[in-house]
Each structure stands twice: as C-alpha cells, then as structure tokens.
DNA sequence: TAAAAATACTCCATAGGTATTTTAT
DNA sequence: ATAAAATACCTATGGAGTATTTTTA
C-alpha cells in the first residue's frame, strides 16, 4: 500500500475504467491493470467488479475509497504544512531575553517582524542573563539577545548593535557645573575617573556584563570607588543616581523611555572601552538555525543597521 | 512521500536516534540516514536538528509527526476494514425476492446466516418477480431468489429447493368425497385434470412461473378451464379456493403458515411436471460473486438441503 | 467485432546494502 | 576517544514499459 496505489484506485473508481484512468494518470493500461491486481491481492479483497463494463466498486471498494480519501486529505495537509514552513508562511521560534532588555528590544523589532512574516509565531523566554545561556543548551530557546561577550565558549554570537553606557549624575550634582552637559540624546560630555573619586557607585549584580566590564576597567586603572551600592535593576540604578544617592553606569537605551522630569545628567566615561557595549544574538556554535530564526536575525540586523565604528580597539 | 517514509520519520522521532531507529526498523543506519535526508529534501524542510545529540525535532518535524500520525491511523483502519471483509467479518449484500417469497424465505434463512456471519449486513429488495431480474442488471441487487427457469438468458441460477405446487379445493367441495385427502402436510392424493373440467381456475398474473408452467401443461393436455379468475397474490388465490370460489394451484410452503381453520383440501395434479417447481438463487452469468454472497449461498443450501429426487423427468 | 482488460516479458529507477569518513560529546 | 551520522558506491527488487491474448458488450 502506497500513496500511489491509493491514487490509482481512486482514479479508476472515478473513471469506472482502467484504460481511461491510465490515460489520466499518464501510465499505460497494462501497468495500471497490474497495479490494481497487485493491490487487490495484497489486501485479499476485490475492489472492482470487472464482470460488468463499465466496472463497478465492490463493497470493499467503497469502504476503501472512503478511508483512502481521508488518507490523501491528510497527506495533502502534511505537504501544505511543510510547504508553508519552507516558504516561511508558518513557523515558530523561541528566543530568550533579559527582563530588562525585553522592554526596549521587542517594541523595536516585533512589529516589523510580524509585518514581514505574519505566519511566524514568537515565544519569548524572559529570565536573567545568567539563565539565558543555559536555556539554549536545554533547547528551551533557539537563541537569545545579550550583551557580549558570551561566557560559555560553546556559544557564538552575531553582533547587532553597540550601545553607549553612560555615567549618570543627579541634575543637582555639583560636578555638572564643570561640564556643559546635555541632558538628553546625542553627544555627551566626557568625564574622567578622577572626578568621580568621591562618589558612591551604584553597581548592578556581579554577573551583568555592564558591571563586569566597568569593574574590569576600574581594576586596570587602579581605581577604587569610595563606596558601593548594589541593585538588581539598571532602571533602579538610574533612578537612584538621578535622586542623588550616587553615580550609575547605564545604557543609553533607557533614556528615551524615561520621563524627562526624572532624567539625570549623562557623561561618557573617559578612556573607557566599555562605554560601548555590544549587543548580540547568541546561539550555539554549529547550531541548526531554522529559516525562521535566520529571518528574525535579518530583520533585527536591518532594524539596528550595520554597527558603526570600530569596536575591537 | 510514502507510508514507509512516514514510519521512518516517526521511528526516528521516537528514538531520537537514527542508529537506534534503523535497528528497530531492521535496516542499516546509512540507509535510514539517506531516507531521512531524501524526505527532508523533497519537503524542503529539516525535520530533525542534528546539531544536538540526541537529535531533536524541528518545528516542521513536530507538525510532520502530528499529521503523519493521522495518516498512519487511517492507513491502519483501511487495512483492518479490508481484512475484515476478506475474513467475512464485515460485508454487505443485497438480494431481491418477491413480496410473496420473502415472508417464507427470510425467517428460514436469516437467523442462521446472521448467527454464522454477524458482520455481514443484508439489504432486501422486494418487488414483483418480473422486476427482480432487471434489478440484477442495474446492479441494485447482487442476486435474487426466484422460481426457475430464469427468463433472461444472461442469467444463471443455483437450485436450492423444489417445492410442490398443489391443487387446492374448498373443504366443502364435492370432489373431496372421491379422495382420502389429507388436509395438512406430507403425502397428498392425486387428482386428474378430467375431474377439474367444470371448475373455475384461479390464476396468478401471467408472468408468474406458477401460472406459466400450469397453463403450458394445460396446453399440452388440450385442457381448457371452464372459467378463469385472475388474482395477483398466491395467498389470495388460496383463500378464494378455500372459500369455494374455484380451484387454485399453490405452493405447499404456504400451508404450514396458514391457520388450520382456513385450510382447504390439497391434491397433487396427476401427470403434471410443474407440480414440483424449482426455487433458485439467480445471478448474472460470469458475475463476480463476493465471498459474502457465496457465504450466503452456502448457508441457504445447507438449510434447504440438497434437493432430493430427479427433477428433470 | 471492436474496445477494454489481462497476461507475458523486458528494463531501469531507487531503496537498501557495505565500506569508509566526518562529526559531536 | 568513541559513538553516531554522513558520504560514496554497489546491488537488486518491483513498477512501468511494449507486445500480445483474452474477454465482454
């Protein structure tokens, strides 16, 4: 029993003639005669009563075509499903992102992605950065969005953007008077570590790239903050800095979303490499990336644009 | 896409290993690898992500097995249906019978048939004998039960029984005194045409075998009834004869079913060939007779027994 | 007797096999 | 280092072909 056999039987039943059916099936009559006989033999029943012309279905034949029709139905459905996936009209991807990042990433990316690939559904897995890489290995997610570099060297990444990380001071901070600070976007004035010698630094958790890279810089510069405060959330750090508790090192992405009344004064940390952190799409080395995942990557890259400037200095 | 392919994919999905699946499928690993690759190529999608061991289904693979499962489901159903028909656990036959005959035939035959072949359903097509033969040609029925011989020579028949046809007189008829007539079953006294010279004959319709054979006999004997009355139904003819309207020529089968209070006196018509009419199962020459029809034939023949005596004298 | 189906045989495409290399843990 | 999958190449089964006979309306 093969799909071909079913199609042959259905066509003969439809035409009530082996010769005519053979024509429609683009095979010869003897070949079709043999096929029908072979099918009947293998099933142990006659499907057609040849003692009449035009030939007629037996009871077994009627039952056969009823069930066979269902089979071809599902076979067609199967092919359609696969074709839709091949053409990216249907698919599903799962991606991980930190709770902090999702707020800025998805509103920027998903509308364009859904517009271009309406059939592809996206599952979002939100967790702390530390857990995302693990989720890749368990297969819970196809990839994740993270600040590079990745910790696990079984992983690799595609760079999608660089975002500046800035020192934020309270609007009332005395240091502001020393600089012509811009409080919003675009070019920020530079500030040096020396100037921040007496400040309380508001740190993120130790496993965040933002903190890792900042403290590595401090070590290289033999700089020790006067005091330290540790919080989980970058937005909390920002808010504390704006209220004058200390200084924080935050991504520029949070500024546009922040109510202007609650913004601080922003500075680029002088001579600091990590003032530009790299955002990447992270996945397993040698991972199979479905067409849908690659489609998502391409949409993300188009939206973020080719990262400008040299990053590896 | 063949059923084999589906089974291969399902087994690999189940085992999460091509090698293990190949073992279970009794083929070699390279052969199965090739098959899976061929299937994926033909569908244009990857079903398995080989970048991990044990390998894992892609989204397309999940969709595939969901639908493929349905297909195999219906394929199994199809094979079961055909097997049941081959084993006579399921089938359907349609048979024709005259309205008169059904009353005596089915109560005798169907209980035993249903007992032996509970899966075979029987459709009954009741019509006048004249229309039954036609129904065979239109395909409305597989065969019919009729008094032989058949009229159409495209048909043939299997003899199942002979039934005596008897002259019936009213219990009050003067002729009874000349014979030691038994009013019930078993041996009946003979009566000659001469004795019936002055009787009114109650005929059935001209196309009934009972009448055809009786009137042929009359012609051969140069006998002409004094008067004729024509009715459609043999039981009506019988009832009229019993009530003294005339004499009728009726099958012995009706006697046991008849209330003894309404029986007549029964005689064998002397020297008359048609006093034994042949009942047969009638079907097209060269007709395909399904196993179920043949099963029905065998049950009928067993119940009626091999017809006794010589019929062709 | 003419059209359809069955039979006899020949051929080749492809599923499956063996041997080996590549890949992943 | 080892177990699994992929690749290369070979073999043989069975579906489709042509030619012919048999059957049925």
> What DSSP assignment string belongs to A206-250?
TTSHHHHHHHHHHHHTT---SEEEE-S-HHHHHHHHHTTS-EEEE
Decide if pLDDT at A80 tops 80.
yes
- d(Cα A34, Cα A36) in Å, to the nearest integer? 6
Identify the helix (H) or strand (E) that includes residue B129: helix B129-138
- d(Cα A85, Cα B43) in Å, to the nearest integer? 10
Tell which wins on pLDDT, B260 or A310.
B260
Decide if pLDDT at B183 tops 70.
no
Chain B partners within 8 Å of A49 (Cβ): 287-288
Contact B204, B210 (CB under 8 A): yes
**Mean pLDDT (chain A, rounded):** 89
Query: What is the predicted pLDDT for the residue at A306?
Result: 64
- d(Cα A88, Cα A120) in Å, to the nearest integer? 7
DSSP B219-235: HHTT---SEEEE-S-HH
Binned at pLDDT 50, 70 and 90, residue B306 comes out as: low
Tell which wins on pLDDT, B157 or B273.
B157
Query: What is the predicted pLDDT for the residue at B84?
Result: 93
Residues of B near A (Cβ–Cβ under 8 Å) read: 1-3, 43-46, 49-52, 56, 58-60, 63-64, 67-68, 70-71, 74-75, 77-79, 81-83, 85-86, 90-93, 139, 284, 286-288, 290, 292
Question: Closest to B51 (Cβ–Cβ): which among A63, A284, A292?
Answer: A284
User: Å from A37 (CA) to C6 (C1')?
Assistant: 10
Contact A229, A256 (CB under 8 A): no
- Are A91 and B44 within 8 A, CB to CB? no
User: What is the distance, to the nearest Å, from the Cα of residue A224 to the centroid of all Cα atoms in its chain?
Assistant: 39
Question: Measuring CA to CA, how many Å separate B307 from each of A170, B106, B160, B278, B304?
Answer: 118, 19, 7, 9, 7
Query: What is the predicted pLDDT for the residue at A309?
Result: 37
A190-203: average pLDDT: 92
**Is any atom of strand D within 7 angstroms of residue B34's beta carbon?**
yes
**Mean pLDDT (chain B, rounded):** 89
B180-194: average pLDDT: 71
Query: What is the predicted pLDDT for the residue at A82?
Result: 93
Binned at pLDDT 50, 70 and 90, residue B308 comes out as: very low
Decide if pLDDT at B274 tops 80.
no
Report helix, strand or coil for A275. Answer: helix
pLDDT (tens digit per residue) in A92-115:
999 999 988 998 999 999 999 999
Kindly report the number of other CB atoms within 10 A of residue B177's CB atom.
Answer: 8
> Which residues, in sequence order, are bridge partners of residue B168?
B248, B266
Report helix, strand or coil for B152. Answer: coil
- d(Cα B184, Cα A180) in Å, to the nearest integer? 132
Question: Measuring CA to CA, how many Å separate A281 from each of A73, A133, A166, A289, A297?
Answer: 40, 11, 23, 12, 8
Binned at pLDDT 50, 70 and 90, residue B304 comes out as: very high
Query: What is the predicted pLDDT for the residue at B61?
Result: 92
pLDDT (tens digit per residue) in A119-162:
999 999 999 887 898 899 888 899 999 998 888 888 899 999 99
Question: Closest to B78 (Cβ–Cβ): which among A3, A71, A286?
Answer: A71
pLDDT (tens digit per residue) in B278-294:
999 999 888 888 999 99
């Amino acid at each position: 029993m093969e799909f071909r056999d079913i199609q042959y039987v259905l066509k003969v039943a439809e035409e009530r003639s082996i010769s005519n059916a053979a024509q429609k099936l683009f095979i010869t009559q003897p070949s079709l005669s043999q096929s029908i006989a072979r099918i009947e033999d293998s099933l142990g029943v006659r499907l057609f009563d040849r003692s009449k012309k035009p030939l007629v279905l037996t009871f077994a034949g009627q039952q056969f075509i009823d069930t066979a029709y269902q089979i071809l139905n599902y076979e067609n459905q199967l092919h359609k499903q696969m074709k839709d996936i091949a053409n990216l009209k249907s698919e599903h991807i799962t991606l991980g992102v930190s709770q902090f990042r999702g707020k800025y990433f998805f509103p920027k990316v998903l509308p364009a992605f859904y517009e271009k690939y309406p059939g592809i559904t996206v599952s979002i897995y939100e967790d702390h950065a530390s857990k995302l890489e693990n989720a890749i290995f368990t297969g819970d997610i196809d990839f994740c969005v993270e600040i590079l570099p990745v910790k696990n060297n079984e992983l690799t990444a595609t760079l999608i953007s660089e975002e500046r990380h800035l020192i934020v001071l309270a609007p009332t901070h005395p240091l502001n008077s020393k600089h012509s600070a811009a409080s919003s976007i675009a070019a920020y004035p530079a500030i040096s570590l020396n100037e921040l010698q007496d400040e309380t630094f508001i740190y993120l958790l130790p496993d965040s790239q933002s903190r890792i890279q900042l403290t590595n810089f401090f070590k290289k510069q033999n700089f020790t903050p006067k005091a330290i405060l540790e919080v989980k959330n970058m937005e909390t750090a920002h808010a504390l800095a704006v209220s004058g508790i200390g200084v924080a090192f935050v991504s520029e992405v949070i500024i546009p979303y922040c109510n202007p009344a609650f913004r601080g004064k922003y500075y680029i940390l002088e001579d600091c490499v990590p003032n530009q952190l790299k955002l990447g799409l992270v996945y397993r080395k040698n991972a199979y990336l479905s067409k849908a995942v690659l489609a998502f990557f391409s949409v993300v890259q188009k939206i973020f644009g080719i990262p400008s400037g040299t990053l590896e200095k």
